[in-house]
Chains A and B, each alone.
Chain A
Amino acid sequence: GQQLNQSPQSMFIQEGEDVSMNCTSSSIFNTWLWYKQDPGEGPVLLIALYKAGELTSNGRLTAQFGITRKDSFLNISASIPSDVGIYFCAGSAGNTGKLIFGQGTTLQVKP
């Protein structure tokens, strides 16, 4: 079945640093999404991408839909302690209505 490879698995950075994580797929997706999950909570949508090559920002977050439609990245600039959490990429292909999730990137920020 379809799989998403998300990297890195975890990151431990200093407050103020920029962060980058990415996802690659074995097949083409029509939609790429980035979620954040805080401890004890459900995932919350950060950015949705619907077109190949699309670059979208949400505050300090920037994400891009890869031109091949098989990858996406998320950048966080000037990280702050509340950025701590697990970041998931997710993709959707065709008309299945089904989201495939990456394995998640655990981010820790040292004040």
Chain B
Amino acid sequence: DTAVSQTPKYLVTQMGNDKSIKCEQNLGHDTMYWYKQDSKKFLKIMFSYNNKELIINETVPNRFSPKSPDKAHLNLHINSLELGDSAVYFCASSQGFLSPGGEYFGPGTRLTVT
């Protein structure tokens, strides 16, 4: 009964490759997010989608492209991976766009770029 699931859990790849991380939530939430957690554990929002529409797009390189095929899914595609992209990426969802405190986080995807 996982609320927010992500695949894969671990991703090891070489510089220059393109990779995708998938996220699904079964909570019926309208809003989904991608966060990046760096090696110092600092969590920063990257993107937010509300009802499949992009509403938050932080200063993220355009090599990162989120896609929301429906309300329950938010995938993250990364082109031309760089060493600095190594981090843990968390997907999260909340009932609505302005419901802080209602975010449910997935287990994370640890991306290692070599």
Binding site for B on A (CB under 8 A): 31, 33, 37, 40-45, 48, 50, 86, 88, 90, 92, 95-99, 101, 103-104, 106
Contacts and interface: CB of A to CB of B under 8 A. Distances in A.
Contacts of A45: 101-103
22 contacts: A33-B100, A42-B107, A43-B105, A44-B105, A45-B101, A45-B103, A50-B101, A92-B100, A96-B56, A97-B31, A97-B50, A97-B55, A97-B97, A97-B98, A98-B48, A98-B56, A101-B42, A101-B43, A101-B44, A104-B41, A104-B42, A106-B41
Using C-beta atoms within 8 Å of the partner chain, give the interface range for chain B. 20 to 34
A45 B93 CA distance: 12
Interface in B41-88: 41-45, 48, 50, 55-56
Contacts of B48: 97-98
A97 B108 contact: no
A40 B106 CA distance: 10
A48 B4 CA distance: 20
A12 B4 CA distance: 32
Contact of B107 (A41, A50, A92, A106): A41
A104 B37 CA distance: 11
A104 to B, nearest CB: 5
Given A86-B41, A104-B41, A99 B100 contact: yes
B111 interface: no
Given A41-B107, A88-B43, A103-B40, 10 more contacts: A40-B108, A41-B108, A42-B4, A42-B106, A45-B102, A92-B100, A97-B31, A97-B55, A98-B48, A99-B103
A50 B101 CA distance: 9
Contacts of B45: 98-99
Given A41-B108, A43-B105, A95 B98 contact: yes
Contact of A48 (B50, B97, B101, B106): B101
